[in-house]
Amino acid sequence: MTDATSTAGAAAKPGILAVDVGGTGLKCAVIDEHGTMLSERERVDTPHPCHPEALLDAYAGMAAKLPAFDRISIGFPGVVRNGRVLTAPNLGTELWAGFALADAMAARLKVPARLINDAEMQGYGIISGKGLELVMTLGTGCGTALFRDGDLMPHMELAHHPVHDNLTYDEYLGVAAYESHGKHHWNHHVKRVIELLYVLLHYDHLYLGGGNAKHVEIELPANVSLASNDAGLTGGAALWRKG
C-alpha cells in the first residue's frame, strides 16, 4: 500500500461524535482519535423543559449533518455514573435521574457511546498531564474537574457546595449571577473563587473554560489561564483511548 493510499484511508476512517450538553446550548462535532476537529461545530438552543427524548431528537438532527462516526463521547452537566445520569441541575433532575443516556444515545445513533461529566470531558481537552490540574467551567452553572498527572480524580460536585453567604458555586458564578450583578461584580466573584480553590487544593494549574470564560477580565495568577471552549468537544477523544 502506498503512502498516499494510507493517508487517504486514514482520512476516511470514521471519527468520534463529541457531544457537549449545556444548559443553554447543545453542541456536537466529529473529532478524530487525537481530538482534532474533523467537522464544524453544530449547535442548537437547549430546549426547556429538556426531556431526554427532546435531547436525543436534537442530537439525531445535528448528527445527520456531520461526517461519518463510529463512536460517541458525551459530556453531561451533572453527576453521571456507569452511563447513567444521577443529577441534572440545569436541565431538571426530576426528568433525568436514573436515565441511561449512554445506552439511549447509542441505540438512537446506532454506534457505542460513553458518558462523562461535561467539565471532566472539557478537562481532557485542556490539561497538560503534569501535576495537580483543576478545570472550572463557567457557563449556565459552574463545573469542576480535577486531574493528577493526567488521571481523572473522583468527581466533586463543588457546584452545589456553599461558597459565600450560603450561595453555591452555581449561584455565585453561574449565568444568573453574571446577569444579575454585572460583569465587574461577577469578575470579583471569579477572583475570590480562584483564591479559595487554591487554599483548598493547592493546584499546580487552574484552567477556566466554558462559555462565560470570555467575560473574565481580572489579572490572573501565573498558574491560572483561560481555555478554549472547543475543549468541551475535543476532550471526547480521551474517553476511547483506553479501549
Residue 196 and residue 177: Cα distance in Å, rounded?
18
For 77, 166, 170, 195, the CA distances from 89, given in Å and listed in that order, are 8, 17, 10, 25
Asked whether residue 160 falls in the same domain as residue 206, the answer is yes
pLDDT tens readout for residues 96-148: 999 999 999 999 999 999 999 999 999 999 999 999 999 999 999 999 999 99
Asked whether residue 137 falls in the same domain as residue 219, the answer is yes
Residue 243's pLDDT band (boundaries 50, 70, 90)? low
Provide the number of structural domains found in the chain.
2
pLDDT tens readout for residues 28-42: 999 999 999 999 999
SS3 85: strand
Asked whether residue 195 falls in the same domain as residue 140, the answer is yes
Residue 205 and residue 218: Cα distance in Å, rounded?
17
Asked whether residue 81 falls in the same domain as residue 189, the answer is no
For the stretch 81-90, contacts whose Cβ atoms lie closer than 8 Å and that sit 24 or more positions apart, written own/partner, are 83/113, 83/114, 83/115, 84/115, 85/115, 87/157, 89/141, 89/159, 89/160, 89/170, 90/22, 90/23, 90/140, 90/141
The residue to which cell 487525537 is assigned = 34
Q: Does the pLDDT of residue 11 top 90, yes or no? A: no
Asked whether residue 40 falls in the same domain as residue 60, the answer is yes
Percent share of the chain, pLDDT over 70: 94
Cell of 107: 441505540
Asked whether residue 112 falls in the same domain as residue 147, the answer is no
Q: Does the pLDDT of residue 55 top 50, yes or no? A: yes
Determine the distance from the C-alpha atom of residue 121 to the mean position of all C-alpha atoms in its chain, rounded to a whole number. Answer: 5
Asked whether residue 142 falls in the same domain as residue 208, the answer is yes
Asked whether residue 82 falls in the same domain as residue 173, the answer is no
Which one-letter amino acid corresponds to residue 154? P
**CATH number where 168 lies:** 3.30.420.40
Which one-letter amino acid corresponds to residue 157? E
Domain interval for residue 46: 3-120+233-240
The residue to which cell 483511548 is assigned = 241
Asked whether residue 184 falls in the same domain as residue 115, the answer is no
pLDDT tens readout for residues 179-225: 999 999 999 999 999 999 999 999 999 999 999 999 999 999 999 99
Asked whether residue 165 falls in the same domain as residue 112, the answer is no
Nearest to residue 80, comparing CAs of 91, 67, 65, 69?
Answer: 91
- Residue 12's pLDDT is 64
Asked whether residue 51 falls in the same domain as residue 91, the answer is yes
Asked whether residue 85 falls in the same domain as residue 159, the answer is no
Contacts of residue 134, defined as CB under 8 A and 6 or more positions apart, other chains included, come to: 144, 145, 146, 147, 197, 201, 203, 205, 206, 207
Dihedral sign from CA coordinates of 42, 133, 189, 142: positive
Residue 3's pLDDT band (boundaries 50, 70, 90)? very low
